[in-house]
Amino acid sequence: MGDPRRLSKKYKKPRKLWDKKRILEESKLKREYGLKNTREVWIAQAELRKVRREARKLLALPEEIREKEARVILSKLERLNILPGTATIDDILSLTVRDFLERRLQTIVWRKGLAKTPKQARQLIVHGFISVDGRRVLSPGMLITKEMEDKVAYYKPIQLEPKVVEEKSDNNEEASEQVEEAGNEPKAQEEVKA
């Protein structure tokens, strides 16, 4: 059967782990995008770092070779809908972590209106209520391409609204009946006095 494959980390820890400014920025991103932990921010930073490293290497190459290899990186970023088709290598260097976080399945489910909050989007994905191209997806960190974005939908029908609305209408009917009964009692007392 063979040995199990060795999984490598998709992220790299920061050198200074307890930097207050960095921690505050990462906390803000975690709240804004409904991320589970800081590791997910680090994964997006690693993707950004990888793309920017490739772009810097391309800038050092001669013009003929640079154009060929730049098309490969730019087409990948265009397919992920991170950059437009008319982008250049300089546009790659101006990318931020938010550009990669916007392409996660969790964020797209939230932006499309399939969930009310980013955390609810994550819960729907993990519990198997979201599909991409008809196939159930359980990974909220999956990067969605431009073609797959339109194919994100519910895997099985779900009702996001709680059924509390129906109970309120029953309470309103009971309250109106009580008001009518209370309104009838004083009339009966007036008749007795007369």
pLDDT tens for 51-93 read 999 999 999 999 989 999 999 999 999 999 999 999 999 999 9
Residue 156 confidence (pLDDT): 86
Measured CA to CA, the distance from residue 162 to residue 174 in angstroms comes to 21
164 domain-assigned: no
162 domain-assigned: no
Q: What is the mean pLDDT of residues 104-124?
A: 96
Q: Is the pLDDT of residue 180 over 70?
A: no
128 domain-assigned: no
Q: What is the mean pLDDT of residues 113-135?
A: 96
Q: Is the pLDDT of residue 27 over 60?
A: yes
32 domain-assigned: yes
- CA angle (81 as vertex; 57, 52 as ends), nearest 5: 20
Residue 73 structural domain: 9-101
188 domain-assigned: no
Measured CA to CA, the distance from residue 128 to residue 137 in angstroms comes to 7
57 domain-assigned: yes
Residue 194 confidence (pLDDT): 45
Q: What is the mean pLDDT of residues 171-184?
A: 56
Percentage of the residues of the chain whose pLDDT score is greater than 90: 75
Number of structural domains (the chain) is 1
Q: Which burial class, exposed, middle or buried, applies to 82 when counting CB atoms under 10 A from its CB (0-12, 13-18, 19+)? A: buried
40 domain-assigned: yes
Confidence of residue 174 (pLDDT cuts 50, 70, 90): low
- pTM summary value: 0.79
Q: Is the pLDDT of residue 35 over 50?
A: yes
48 domain-assigned: yes
Residue 1 confidence (pLDDT): 65
Q: Is the pLDDT of residue 39 over 70?
A: yes
